[in-house]
Amino acid sequence: MGSAWNAAIVAEPLASVHGLGRYMADAADAGDMPRLLASVITMTALVVAVNKFVWKRLYEEAAKWR
């Protein structure tokens, strides 16, 4: 899962897509630390939420079938 997030963040600026990765790259290029910090916090919150509410539940459901 972590590798997919990394690939998406890296691919966004290269593909001219305007997502969180592009936002982070623009903030970093501009030296805008508050925007960069906000985007890192947002990404962290999204990863934690998806892991907790989606992947954990799917894993628990799949474990029942062992």
User: What pLDDT score was predicted for residue 3?
Assistant: 66
Q: Supply the DSSP symbol for 17.
A: -
| pLDDT for res 21 | 78
Give the C-alpha separation, 9 to 39, whole Å: 11
pLDDT tens, 10-20?
Answer: 776 677 777 88
Residues 6, 12, 18, CA angle at the centre, nearest 5°? 130
pLDDT for 37 equals 95
Q: What is the pLDDT, as a whole number, of residue 1?
A: 54
Q: Hey, what amino acid is at 22?
A: R
pLDDT, averaged in runs of 10, over the chain (66 residues):
66 73 88 94 88 88 88
Q: What is the pLDDT of residue 6?
A: 67
